[in-house]
Structure 1
């Protein structure tokens, strides 16, 4: 069952990569067309949500960032909980390598960015931007070039990306949630605790889960902290155990119901709202501004160095294992793929440099994220395609003992 759910997740998220790509391309086309003024005016326009005494007024850009993206983080939280309780993350040995690789994949980009901030003058506050991996885009690219590769690589990538997202969420909570209004925040925490207790004692119908999430989200907005944090916290209280009467798990039902909305509505809308860069009047100096270069190289070089280096070190120290049946070249290809940081990197960029969507800083963030992600995607595609042909073209021995170190035989060595 765990394998089936993981495969379903991979298929849904991989398929959404096409929708993400189309939305990003559409944003670039519109932002550089006669419709550009209307596009940017739409993103800055204010819209009111009022239900009785409850009233919120935000721009379209903020509604997408704080509203729709809360659904994205809810889905990520549900996936994290499932993997920890029943999936790949429940096995400490399988957990060690991707977790350490994810940590390395955060340290590497931060180190590259901060080094460049000292040498070329990139703004210091942008260092968290290249730390994140885009699950949907990464899985979509892997699906295109990964046919015939060991299935363990897909699980490795998914597990790494989930841990990476958890780290990004923690960073968002620590770095971008200051100045909280404590009264609504305490109320939100109280609702979460009450909901968690009630969920383990009685069956809660789906409409009440929706209402509970809406209330927690509203209180979080009032508190001034990022809705991503409480969205993941809300996912943690959704029961994973199947109900006696219908043998259905509320958590799996929620994942099944929300994945399509997340993959084909939430993320494409976010991409359409955040990927629009107007190239008219863009100078060469702005295209290669320190912020652009630092983000792009942080994603491209920092991710591959951090992920691959940590995975190799975990194997060398015998605290982790290389993905079953995979070669180090294939692991390196996946490490390159982790440099695709589109959705989460853009989201963190919005938080790190708050302001208008067409401000100079936001344009440079978008250029850096898009540039680094394209470099990583192309390089990963070439490496994984080559590794796949090598894999299919060599005789394979029986499954090796992949417990370990960097000198462990490749699956086709026959040693």
Structure 2
């Protein structure tokens, strides 16, 4: 039953992978056309949300990143919890492997970046940029090229990516946080604790969870924290056991209801908002700057070395198992996918090199992230395509 539920849940994701790619390509085309100025002005335009005395004003870009993407991270958190309690990751050894691989996938890119920046005289403060895997784009590429491969690989990728993202968020909190508001943060903690206590009672109606998540989200924004972290934390308290009155699991119900909106609205809109990079005035010298090379190779080389090497080590030391039914070639292809940085990498780049959106450092960050992510996606597509054809031929 757990395997069937996972497969059913991921059908929409596989179908929407093309839509995500089209949205990203459209953003690049628009950003480099006559519509470019209007596109960037739209992303920077501010809009106010007011509910009685409560007011919140953010740009379109921020509403997408902090608002809509919080729903995405909620769904990801729900999927991880379900797999840990009922599915593929209920085996501690299978859970250990993606967690260890995520750690390797953060250490190796940092070392690669620092090695290149040291050799070429690049800025050292960019080392956290290639550490993160973009869950949305990695899953979209996997959905397109790996349809004949075991679903356990997708669960492995999903788990690794969320651990990776949480690690990146922790780094942001340690390295770049300033001005975090204590009272809203205490409110977030209080709501999460109250929700955890309420989850022990199976008669809690669905609107409770909707209002609870809205409250946690609002206080998270007021505290100045990333909503992705608290969205995953909220998912952890949503009960998986069915309610007594109707036999429905709040967790499975939420996943079923939210997933189509995330796949067909949230992720394509996010891709359209974040993939738009203008190449006007770009020089060869800037395209091959140490910062660009360090980020690109940190993602492309560092990620595959760290993830695959750590997964192999976990298996060799018998402290973890590779995803059930998978081969090492398939796992290597997934390791390459982890080099798709994008979202969190671009976000960390803004923090590491504060300044104007069109500053030389910001342009180089975007070039490095896009270059490393594209190399990783193409290489992963080739490897996973070969692996899928092999499995189909020997089926």
One fold, TM greater than 0.5?
Answer: yes
TM-score, normalization by structure 2: 0.91
Seen in structure 2, the aligned counterparts of structure 1 residues 260 and 347 have a Cα distance that, compared at 3 Å, is farther
Aligned-pair Cα RMSD in Å: 2.3
Offset from partner CA, 1:217-240 (integer Å, 9 cap, x none): 222222222222222222222111
Seen in structure 2, the aligned counterparts of structure 1 residues 182 and 106 have a Cα distance that, compared at 3 Å, is same
Q: How far did residue 271 of structure 1 move? A: 1.7
1:254 matched to 2:254? The reply is yes
Work out the CA distance in 1 between the residues paired with 2:343 and 2:263.
Answer: 12
Work out the CA distance in 1 between the residues paired with 2:354 and 2:210.
Answer: 30
Seen in structure 2, the aligned counterparts of structure 1 residues 253 and 382 have a Cα distance that, compared at 3 Å, is same
- Higher mean alpha-carbon deviation, 65-74 vs 272-281, is at 65-74
Name the structure 1 match of 2:50. Answer: 50
Q: How far did residue 354 of structure 1 move? A: 4.8
Seen in structure 2, the aligned counterparts of structure 1 residues 89 and 348 have a Cα distance that, compared at 3 Å, is farther
Work out the CA distance in 2 between the residues paired with 1:288 and 1:14.
Answer: 35
Seen in structure 2, the aligned counterparts of structure 1 residues 263 and 325 have a Cα distance that, compared at 3 Å, is closer
TM-score, normalization by structure 1: 0.87
Q: How far did residue 68 of structure 1 move? A: 1.9
Q: How far did residue 284 of structure 1 move? A: 1.4
Name the structure 2 match of 1:94. Answer: 94
Seen in structure 2, the aligned counterparts of structure 1 residues 136 and 230 have a Cα distance that, compared at 3 Å, is closer
Offset from partner CA, 1:309-350 (integer Å, 9 cap, x none): 111112222222333443322222221122122333334434
Name the structure 2 match of 1:387. Answer: 387
Is the CA contact (8 Å cut-off) linking 2:108 and 2:302 kept in structure 1? Answer: yes
Name the structure 2 match of 1:412. Answer: none
- Higher mean alpha-carbon deviation, 162-171 vs 45-54, is at 162-171
Secondary structure of the corresponding residue to residue 241 of structure 1: coil
Is the CA contact (8 Å cut-off) linking 1:342 and 1:370 kept in structure 2? Answer: yes
Is the CA contact (8 Å cut-off) linking 1:15 and 1:140 kept in structure 2? Answer: no
Q: How far did residue 300 of structure 1 move? A: 0.5
- Higher mean alpha-carbon deviation, 325-334 vs 36-45, is at 325-334
Name the structure 1 match of 2:142. Answer: 142
Is the CA contact (8 Å cut-off) linking 2:216 and 2:230 kept in structure 1? Answer: yes
Work out the CA distance in 2 between the residues paired with 1:123 and 1:5.
Answer: 47
1:371 matched to 2:358? The reply is no
Is the CA contact (8 Å cut-off) linking 1:102 and 1:161 kept in structure 2? Answer: yes
Seen in structure 2, the aligned counterparts of structure 1 residues 343 and 20 have a Cα distance that, compared at 3 Å, is farther
Is the CA contact (8 Å cut-off) linking 1:116 and 1:122 kept in structure 2? Answer: yes
Is the CA contact (8 Å cut-off) linking 1:308 and 1:331 kept in structure 2? Answer: yes
Seen in structure 2, the aligned counterparts of structure 1 residues 388 and 64 have a Cα distance that, compared at 3 Å, is closer
Name the structure 2 match of 1:113. Answer: 113
Offset from partner CA, 1:93-145 (integer Å, 9 cap, x none): 21222222221111111211222232234433332222222333333333333
- Higher mean alpha-carbon deviation, 208-217 vs 149-158, is at 149-158
Q: How far did residue 392 of structure 1 move? A: 4.7
Name the structure 2 match of 1:404. Answer: none
Is the CA contact (8 Å cut-off) linking 2:17 and 2:143 kept in structure 1? Answer: no
Spell out the pairing of 1:239-250 with structure 2 (5 A cutoff).
239-250=239-250
1:6 matched to 2:6? The reply is yes
Spell out the pairing of 1:320-335 with structure 2 (5 A cutoff).
320-335=320-335
Work out the CA distance in 1 between the residues paired with 2:220 and 2:74.
Answer: 14
Name the structure 1 match of 2:59. Answer: 59
Seen in structure 2, the aligned counterparts of structure 1 residues 148 and 233 have a Cα distance that, compared at 3 Å, is closer
Work out the CA distance in 2 between the residues paired with 1:353 and 1:75.
Answer: 31
Name the structure 1 match of 2:158. Answer: 158
1:280 matched to 2:263? The reply is no
Secondary structure of the corresponding residue to residue 211 of structure 1: helix
Seen in structure 2, the aligned counterparts of structure 1 residues 199 and 315 have a Cα distance that, compared at 3 Å, is closer
Name the structure 2 match of 1:129. Answer: 129
Is the CA contact (8 Å cut-off) linking 2:340 and 2:373 kept in structure 1? Answer: yes
Is the CA contact (8 Å cut-off) linking 2:203 and 2:244 kept in structure 1? Answer: no
Seen in structure 2, the aligned counterparts of structure 1 residues 212 and 153 have a Cα distance that, compared at 3 Å, is closer
Q: How far did residue 285 of structure 1 move? A: 1.9
Work out the CA distance in 1 between the residues paired with 2:226 and 2:101.
Answer: 26
Offset from partner CA, 1:9-45 (integer Å, 9 cap, x none): 4333333322221111111111111111111111111
Is the CA contact (8 Å cut-off) linking 1:17 and 1:136 kept in structure 2? Answer: no
Unmatched 5+ stretches in structure 2: none
